[in-house]
């Protein structure tokens, strides 16, 4: 049995150890941090979205009136580069907590260029460059939250504007990368999943920007490929897969600390474009030729990694960089009626390559 003095000394030692144990235990409990969109009312945010897709032909198989042909037999090679550069200037007029209720967006830059190089043994090489423009460039659009419809109502910021109201259709107010943020406070190493269809916002920031190919000779889109007018979100359609996010802690860039989120993405989609292509079939310059699209199905797969940097104090994204692989398979069945006879054609075109995203944002 210990003496009262021994018991006193033992209790004293235990008390002295408590201040030492507390920081040790605290070290094993990582502090949680809140990563949220909470930009201040009245803030002006300039965002830039650069997207580059590089694709090359893997395989093309053609069945004409029941006879199958492999395009590789003709030495056919196709390479395509699709480069888009967008810049939005968003003025956050009113906020309801962390939710924007009124935003005025000026579309400063809406550039898109598609360069295609084709070569085959019979005709040699042929290079084309298609530049797309949008009547939205230079226009300011107001997004105002409609609580009854739980959606943003769009209008031109200039109430006396004579711009075509069709330009306002299918625009999206949110282009802030908040879809990659965690649903609750997180500690370093925590993971969560974003919705797979967030890839649509990544591929088409701002929604349908009405980028139409410019035909210098015709002065319009007539004679162009209606596929060239589709945004990536329209090409993709319904999306499945996973977008996994992990909080990597803070990183320092030019003396400023930002929250870093690693994004691992693997998604795929299927879309039926038959109705869209048939709608525009009559606009193509094919004199004395009737085109009937029986079916047009597109499958797309995207896999890659990216990093999102978030300004916790300012409540907005700073940058997002992504590099990945993209594969596209198009199955098309066409019926042609020409003065020389009718033709049924089935095509399967497989292309693959890379997808690179370089996004950034800064307040004024």
Q: By CB neighbour count within 10 A (0-12 exposed, 13-18 middle, 19+ buried), where does 31 fall?
A: exposed
Q: What is the per-residue pLDDT across 184-242, written as a single tens digit (0 to 9) for each?
A: 999 999 999 999 999 999 999 999 999 988 863 344 444 455 555 566 667 888 899 99
336 φ/ψ angles, rounded to the nearest 5 degrees: -115, 135
25 φ/ψ angles, rounded to the nearest 5 degrees: -65, -40
pTM: 0.85
pLDDT in tens, the chain (364 residues): 444 344 334 443 443 344 444 444 434 455 778 999 999 999 999 999 999 999 999 988 888 888 887 666 667 889 999 999 999 999 999 999 889 999 999 999 999 999 999 887 667 788 999 999 999 999 999 999 999 999 999 999 999 899 999 999 999 999 999 999 999 999 999 999 999 999 999 999 999 999 988 863 344 444 455 555 566 667 888 899 999 999 999 999 999 999 999 999 999 999 998 887 777 665 554 566 788 889 999 999 999 999 999 999 999 999 999 999 999 999 999 888 888 888 888 999 999 999 999 999 999 8
């Amino acid at each position: 049995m210990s003496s009262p003095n021994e018991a006193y000394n033992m209790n004293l030692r235990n008390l002295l150890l408590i201040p030492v144990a507390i920081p040790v235990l605290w070290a094993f409990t990582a502090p949680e941090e809140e990563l949220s969109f909470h930009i201040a009312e009245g803030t002006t945010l300039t965002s830039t979205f650069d997207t580059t897709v590089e694709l090359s032909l893997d395989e093309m198989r053609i069945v004409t009136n029941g006879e199958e042909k492999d395009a590789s037999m003709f030495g056919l090679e196709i390479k395509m580069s699709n480069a888009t550069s967008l810049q939005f200037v968003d003025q956050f007029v009113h906020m309801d907590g962390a939710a924007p209720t009124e935003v005025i967006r000026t579309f400063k830059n809406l550039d898109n260029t598609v360069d295609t190089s084709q070569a085959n043994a019979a005709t040699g090489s042929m290079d084309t460059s298609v530049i797309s423009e949008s009547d939205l460039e230079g226009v300011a659009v107001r997004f105002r939250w409609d609580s009854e419809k739980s959606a943003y109502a769009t209008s031109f910021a200039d109430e006396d504007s004579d711009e075509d109201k069709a330009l306002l259709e299918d625009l999206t107010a949110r282009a802030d990368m908040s879809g990659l943020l965690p649903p609750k406070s997180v500690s370093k190493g925590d993971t969560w999943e974003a919705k797979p269809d967030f890839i649509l916002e990544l591929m088409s920031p701002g929604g349908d920007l009405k980028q139409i190919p410019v035909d210098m000779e015709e002065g319009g889109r007539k004679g162009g490929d209606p596929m060239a007018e589709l945004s990536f979100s329209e090409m993709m359609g319904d999306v499945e897969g996973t977008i996994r996010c992990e909080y990597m802690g803070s990183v320092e860039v030019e003396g400023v600390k930002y929250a870093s989120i690693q994004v691992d993405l693997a998604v795929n989609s299927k879309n039926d474009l038959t109705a869209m292509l048939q709608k525009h079939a009559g606009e193509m310059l094919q004199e004395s030729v009737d085109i009937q699209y029986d079916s047009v199905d597109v499958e797309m797969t995207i896999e890659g990694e990216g990093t999102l940097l978030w300004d916790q104090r300012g409540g907005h994204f700073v940058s997002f960089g992504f590099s990945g692989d993209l594969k596209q398979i198009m199955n098309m069945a066409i019926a042609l009626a020409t003065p020389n006879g009718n033709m049924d054609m089935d095509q399967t075109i497989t292309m693959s390559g890379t997808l690179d995203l370089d996004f950034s944002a800064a307040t004024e």
